[in-house]
């Protein structure tokens, strides 16, 4: 009887961990989406050249890859979130700089 309860508890923890990790990353996901939209809008308005957009998109892919690696163990710690937020801060700054430099399409 106790063995079944322990097995059930272990299964709940194993399958619930990725769900909780996803809930903790909503702010990161929202920022990634907004940055993607800012890049798209910059291309549409001519504020970004194709080459600038390509570099910014590459930076976004690298951040998403890093996020997936961090979540791969089923946890997403406060330190990992902080590191991703810092990466997103840098990416946001890069988007701003590229959109407001003298280069146009």
Q: Does residue 33 lie in a domain region?
A: yes
- Each residue's pLDDT, cut to its tens digit, for the chain (105 residues) gives 677 777 777 767 666 655 555 566 788 999 999 999 999 999 999 999 999 999 999 999 999 999 999 999 999 999 999 999 999 999 999 999 999 998 777
Structural domains of the chain, count: 1
pLDDT score, position 70: 95
Q: Does residue 65 lie in a domain region?
A: yes
Range of the domain at 64: 2-99
| Coil, helix or strand at residue 47 | coil
pTM listed for this prediction: 0.75
pLDDT score, position 33: 96
Q: Does residue 84 lie in a domain region?
A: yes
Q: Does residue 105 lie in a domain region?
A: no
67: CB partners within 8 A, 6+ apart: 25, 28, 32, 84
């Amino acid at each position: 009887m106790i063995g079944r309860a322990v097995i059930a508890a272990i299964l709940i923890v194993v399958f619930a961990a990725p769900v909780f990790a996803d809930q903790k990353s909503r702010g990161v996901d929202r920022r990634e989406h907004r940055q993607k939209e800012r890049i798209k809008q910059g291309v549409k308005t001519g504020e970004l050249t194709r080459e600038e957009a390509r570099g910014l998109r590459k930076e976004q892919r690298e951040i998403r890859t890093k996020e997936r690696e961090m979540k791969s163990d089923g946890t997403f710690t406060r330190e990992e979130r902080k590191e991703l937020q810092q990466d997103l801060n840098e990416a946001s700054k890069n988007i701003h700089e590229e959109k407001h430099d003298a280069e146009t399409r």
